[in-house]
Amino acid sequence: MNTLFQPYRLNDTLTLANRFMMAPLTRCMAGPGLVPTEQMAAYYARRADIGLIISEATIIRPDGQGYPNTPGIYSAEQIAGWKKVTGAVHANGGKIFAQLWHVGRLSHPFFHHAEVLAPSAVAHEGTVPRMRELVYQVPRALTEAEIAQLVEDYAQAAANAIKAGFDGVEIHGANGYLIDQFLHHASNLRTDNYGGSPENMSRFALEVVDAINARIGGDRVGLRLSPGAYVHLEGDARDRAVFDHLLTELNQRNLAYVHLGIFDDSLTFDYLDGRASDYLRARYDGHLVGGGNYSAETAAEAIEADRFDLVAIGRPLIANPDYLAKVKQGDALVPYADTMLAELV
């Protein structure tokens, strides 16, 4: 357990106070204009003893929204709201990254009165969470010109995050959202420069990484990935080759870390030969963040076994703002319950 509480050096720019990270947790608590609130600032500040906080997923432009009241980082008012959050975290000695998000085909015109855009015209079946009356639409496939604009919008969102006082950004390339939709055959049916081969299917993700690195520096950039399709997507054995290529390319780039996006790391995937975390560890040379239903004890065991370097904690941090202190002292944790989502504590 002591290893978890030791400082951890990511790079020349960032050293974390410990190996814990706060996983991005969508709470749908932004105010009018999708502006972060004072309540959100207090919520994050109470957890500032965690080595690195990853903010709730934050939309890069209006058509990236897929859930009610999720914060943005594209307007002056949103940037000002986030400054209150980052200022509160820094005042308590913490570090915080903004997670940059576009949901792609998981959006709905209800939120932005515009077309739903995605790699291909393949709808996700089902309804919008928290708004079950909204059925997912068939998206329009992005043009290559629109993809280029999205790359620029991601880079601008990263610059906005630094302006808002964040210590860096995490690119949300996981969990079946826009970037992940390009990386999986179930959602990418393209035959142009962004589909059909591992090189083409990886292109958008790499262009986003390169654009953000050029704008704010790779030392301040993390990337969340889901090589195993388990939510919002169906898996395909051909996806393995896409991620093999993507990770080879990422090994040639400067990143703060790669973060596995999964709810339960005990899941195994035939085409990955087991757990997604083990697949990433075997192929990515940089710092790896594990997550997916780990306790402090099981995380310590995994880190000692060199399965990953840091651990992202999610729902236990919703239930226990004082998570780190309780773990240090060996105190019992308050169990998480869905009812806790109704308020920021």
The tens digit of pLDDT for each residue in 67-85 reads 999 999 999 999 999 999 9
The pLDDT-based confidence of 256 (bands split at 50, 70, 90) is very high
Percent of the chain with pLDDT over 90: 98
Return the H-helix or E-strand segment holding 91: helix 76-91
Residue ranges of E strands in the chain: 8-9, 15-16, 20-22, 52-59, 96-101, 117-118, 127-128, 131-135, 140-141, 168-173, 221-225, 257-260, 268-269, 274-275, 288-291, 310-313
CATH for 260: 3.20.20.70
The residues, any chain, with a CB within 8 Å of residue 76's CB and separated by 6 or more, are none
The count of domains in the chain is 1
At 196, is the secondary structure helix, strand, or coil? Answer: coil
Percent of the chain with pLDDT over 70: 100
Give the pLDDT confidence score for residue 285 in this predicted structure.
Answer: 98
> Kindly report the CA angle at 134 between 132 and 136, in degrees rounded to 5?
115
The pLDDT-based confidence of 342 (bands split at 50, 70, 90) is confident
Q: Taking residues 97-111, what's their average pLDDT?
A: 98
Q: Taking residues 159-171, what's their average pLDDT?
A: 99
Terminal CA-to-CA distance of the chain, rounded, Å?
27
> Kindly report the CA angle at 150 between 96 and 208, in degrees rounded to 5?
55
The pLDDT-based confidence of 337 (bands split at 50, 70, 90) is very high
Q: Taking residues 224-236, what's their average pLDDT?
A: 96
Give the pLDDT confidence score for residue 275 in this predicted structure.
Answer: 98
The answer to whether the CB of 98 falls within 8 A of the CB of 51 is: no
Q: Taking residues 167-184, what's their average pLDDT?
A: 98
Dist. CA 237–CA 255, nearest whole Å: 27
Dist. CA 15–CA 95, nearest whole Å: 10
Evaluate if residue 208 carries a pLDDT over 90.
yes
Q: Taking residues 87-110, what's their average pLDDT?
A: 98
Evaluate if residue 1 carries a pLDDT over 90.
no
Active site residue 279: no
Q: Which of 43, 44, 74, 177 is catalytic?
A: 177
Q: Residue 276: give the domain boundaries.
A: 2-342
Q: In whole numbers, what is the pLDDT of the chain averaged over residues?
A: 97
The pLDDT-based confidence of 328 (bands split at 50, 70, 90) is very high
Residue (of 332, 227, 221) closest to 281 by Cα position: 227
Q: How many helices (H) and strands (E) does the chain have?
A: 11, 16
pLDDT digits over 259-288, tens only?
A: 999 999 999 999 999 999 999 999 999 999
The pLDDT-based confidence of 132 (bands split at 50, 70, 90) is confident
Q: Taking residues 85-102, what's their average pLDDT?
A: 98
